[in-house]
Amino acid sequence: MKTSVMTFSQAIGDGIVVEMERDPNVYVAGEDVWGARGGNFLVTKAPYEKFGPARVLDTPISETAILGHAVGAAMVGLRPIVEIMFVDFMGVCFDELMNQAAKLRYMTGGQVDMPLVIRCADGAGLGAAAQHSQSLEGLLTHIPGLKVVCASTPAEAKGLLTSAVRDDNPVVFLEHKGLYGLEGDVPEGEHLVPLGKADVKREGADVTIVTWSAMVHEALRAAQLLSGDGVDVEVVDLRSLVPLDTATILESVGKTHRVVIVHEAARTCGFGAEVSALMADEGFDLLDAPVRRVTGLDTPIPFSPPLEAECLPNADKIRAAVVAGLN
């Protein structure tokens, strides 16, 4: 398969272009998604250059209107890809998300599909302060009817986006702001990564780290540090939280017998608690030590860079948790 080096943002844009070429019902809509800038993070630059304003629609500054129109469009057979610029702004259109997009396929008895992708930038680490730095995947996974995806590499971002566009259910596609500039080899043309299938990013025998999104890279750094300590770490990247690949998690922990869950979101009711519950329900006999979590703090994200860093997991904090779990 031929590949090209792309950034994370370019890979998503390339996936959008491929799907718009394949299906005339696919279109893009959102605030500032058109023109030379191509969105706040340059993702829609290539789609706009290819298809122009007829299929890359600039919207008013109204998340309610963006998602509301997309729900109606999806109901009549279009396949919108809408951008809610920051996941923090989901609160503005939460009724359209929670009570309309997530429920209409069920409430109509399957008479209408809801092929809708909602792209959002999330995550902290860039000094964007409390209203532009949240990780809200746990909140979104609590809504039945939504699928929730968190890519960690450019190739997976393209492949998961493609699968999301082709799905007949609403998919929230979370893009960590700190990953947009990450470069990697990306397959050219059509590329699919299935929803609901985790990926073992690093194999190991002593402890499993379960994580997703930008924390995958911190976990891999921690694993490298721990290898110097003689600890062999396995890193499982969930990639999609709903649907969740429980089999890969349990298989990994069945091999290592220890698990550390890492996520950037606040600790209380974060998605890591659901993974921990899975271990209690289905993996208790696999464990030789208690489940440990390394998470963000239960606080709004500060603007101050040193305080922001203190609130977030990193490789050193993950390493310390792994070592503590081995003792």
Domain range summary for the chain, segments of one domain joined by +: 3-187, 199-326
- Is 233 in a helix, a strand, or coil? strand
Is residue 152 packed enough to be buried (19+ CB in 10 Å), middle (13-18) or exposed (0-12)? buried
Percentage of the chain modeled with pLDDT above 70: 100
pLDDT at 39: 81
pLDDT tens-digit map of 27-86:
999 999 987 677 889 999 999 999 999 999 999 999 999 999 999 999 999 999 999 999
CATH 3.40.50.920 fits 199-326, yes or no: yes
3-187 and 199-326 in the same fold:
yes
* CB distance 260 to 293 below 8 Å: yes
* CB distance 179 to 6 below 8 Å: no
Amino acid type, 63: E
What is the CATH code for 3-187? 3.40.50.970
Quickly tell me which residue has 């129109």 as its tokens: 69
What average pLDDT does the segment 242-250 reach? 98
Closest CA to 44 of 33, 35, 53: 33
Q: DSSP letter at 300?
A: P
pLDDT tens-digit map of 134-143:
999 999 999 9
Q: Can you tell me the distance from the alpha carbon of 212 to that of 218, in angstroms, rounded to the nearest whole number?
A: 10
Examine the pLDDT at 327 and tell me if it is beyond 90: no
Q: Among the options 19, 31, 63, 234, which is catalytic? A: 63
Residue 238 pLDDT class (50, 70, 90 cuts): very high
pTM of the model: 0.96
Q: What is the CA radius of gyration of the chain?
A: 19
CA 86 centroid distance within chain: 13
Those residues with Cβ within 8 angstroms of residue 198's Cβ, 6 or more apart along the chain or in another chain? 236, 237, 238, 239, 240, 245, 248, 249
Average pLDDT, the chain: 97
Q: Can you tell me the distance from the alpha carbon of 327 to that of 116, in angstroms, rounded to the nearest whole number?
A: 47
Q: Can you tell me the distance from the alpha carbon of 140 to that of 313, in angstroms, rounded to the nearest whole number?
A: 21
- β partners of residue 56: 28
pLDDT tens-digit map of 172-229:
999 999 999 999 999 999 999 999 999 999 999 999 999 999 999 999 999 999 999 9
Percentage of the chain modeled with pLDDT above 90: 97
pLDDT at 112: 95
pLDDT tens-digit map of 278-287:
999 999 999 9
Is residue 165 packed enough to be buried (19+ CB in 10 Å), middle (13-18) or exposed (0-12)? buried
pLDDT at 38: 78
- Is 45 in a helix, a strand, or coil? helix
pLDDT at 36: 66
- Is 111 in a helix, a strand, or coil? coil
The reply to whether 31 belongs to the active site is no
The reply to whether 63 belongs to the active site is yes
Which residues in 90-129 are b (16+ Cβ under 10 Å) and which e?
Answer: bebbeebbbebbbbbbeeeeeebbbbbbbbbbbbbbeebe
Quick one: residue 125, left, alpha or beta (phi over 0 = left, psi -120 to 50 = alpha)?
A: left
* CB distance 200 to 135 below 8 Å: no
pLDDT at 221: 98
Examine the pLDDT at 304 and tell me if it is beyond 80: yes
What average pLDDT does the segment 297-315 reach? 97
Q: Can you tell me the distance from the alpha carbon of 106 to that of 112, in angstroms, rounded to the nearest whole number?
A: 9
Q: Among the options 19, 31, 96, 132, which is catalytic? A: 132
Q: The tokens of 281 are what?
A: 């329900």
